[in-house]
Structure 1
Amino acid sequence: MNKRVISLISLCALIGVNATSFAFDASKMGGDVEVGFKVKDYEEGGASRTFREGNVSLTLKPNKDKGLAFKFGFADRVYNESKDSSKNKKEQSREMSEFYIENLYTFGKLMFRPEIGLKYTDFHNDDKKLDSAKEYRFYPKFTYTFNRNWSLYSRGFVAYTELKDPWKNGDKYGYKHRLEGGARYTFNRKHALSIAYADETSGVNKFDYDVDGSQIRFRYHYSPTRNLKFVPFYFKSIDGERVSTTGVKKEVSRDKLGMNTHYNITKDLQAIVMFNYEWRDDNTDKGGDGNKNNFFYSSGLKYSF
């Protein structure tokens, strides 16, 4: 049997997808398509840096009334760097492809929505001469609702990573996670507040160090109408460090302030906008204290069917 078929069957078995979930009925099929772009501007080590990204994603549900979903995503990101001299300009890019399988289980007040899949990155003109990277991700998402006001939730992923680095130390393998767990209090239909703890670690990346960090995250959910929602947020760094391959440790800090906006243009079409400002101190040795004054903006359109 083809190895790809075996891998797909294994993924389905891991999150409990059974054969009846694949029963096809075009009238019951649903999903959504989303297109968007992202922009980030920042400075590091005396250089101005930007990235621009265009992305598209597709979610397909064999039965829109069931929890099983197949997710596909593609993004093309271009990095530009320039210093004071016009001769010192660099450009690099990467293409990112993703595929995930998601399912939904309900146990009383607990809603468990596991998701598993692969993210593949193809590097071009990378400053570290990287070739490609793979992340085998698992999202242990859940929501536990105590009552109409209080709920607990978890989001984020854990991953096994592979980094193809043919020019330096060969291929690298390791562990990575970005996890968030928190509580949400809903005052009424218009107002809600959530507070969460987030933790991030990455032992395999394009730099010669491991990254660890944690934050307390505050979000305020405000819906003035049923078609419009604002979510201002503030993420406060409480701990973070970089550890080089030689064992040298440096403290890092990343605080973020921003807002997400969702607007239902029609019952099937939604506009999504996010922007944030990040105070980031990575204590690098590139002539500065690290990334600072980061501005990030993204927008997209999501069509549901």
Structure 2
Amino acid sequence: MAMVASRAGVSGQTVSRVVNDSPRVDPATRARVEQAMSELGYRPHRAARALRTGRSQTIGLVVTTLATVGNSRMLQATAEAAAERGYALMVATAADGVASAFERLAEQEVDGAIVLNEASAQVSADERPAGLRLVIVDAQTDAGFTAVHSDHHGGAAAATAHLLELGHGSVHHLAGPADSYAAAERERGWRETLSAAGIDAPEIVRGDWTADAGFAAGAALAAASAVFCGNDQMALGLLRALAESGRRVPEDVSVIGFDDVPDAANYRPPLTTIRQDFTALAQRTVGALVAEIEGENAEGEDAGGAAASVVPTRLVERASTASR
């Protein structure tokens, strides 16, 4: 750092501020320091920084599976959001429960952890490791931790209202797993929207987020005129089941999904869906965790018990829904 400071004609403290991305450096000086760093081949030493600051600049991600589209997209978005803030990401699967995942992360001395989706339901205040900052994605707001989630309820309500506005007398629901917070919130949005319209909710059909589950649900939804699917993967399977049974989408039945996966626009027909902004969700989640790690919350304390941070969703209309 002394060599960089000498080359750039600045103090060692200024170099330190540039390395730590402090806003207290004017752009011209920052550019001069970064040029000197490049010319000298300087790279911050993570281990040395950890000794100096007491932080490893690493955060953990606890997840039950990466096989689902939502979890894999959140992994990518979280890794990018962490890197933007100068943090490395370490993944720990919770196949044997979150407690063992926390132990593995603690051994690596991570500064904090994000618990994702299905794993969030396994976290309790009693299992929280001492001193480990946690932010959970998709969990009850009274869980005692900082929480972030997409507006599953609002998205489901928008999907259901859209189908009712198209003239459908009712809307069936192909829901996600019963133990999923996201699935429960989407089901709640569907039920409350039907109830507000004076419509009794049809019997629910439940799947496991996979396209195979959507295909298997085809028989149970054979008579439906409108179906709100808990995610796009199940909608994909349902579209195939409907096609094989001779029912046309959207002429005979309207189908709407949730997530807006990259392939949704190329389904046959292109899928109307609710867009979940995984990039914004990851940015909000990593930002909340880094704020706790670096003491940006009031008095440096946890925001446990506070209302969850909610990331908006929005309806994306395509060709799988039509008026009646």
Q: TM-score, normalised by structure 2?
A: 0.26
More strand by share: 1
Q: Rg larger in 1 or in 2?
A: 2
Question: Which structure dedicates a bigger proportion of its chain to helix?
Answer: 2
TM-score (norm 1): 0.28
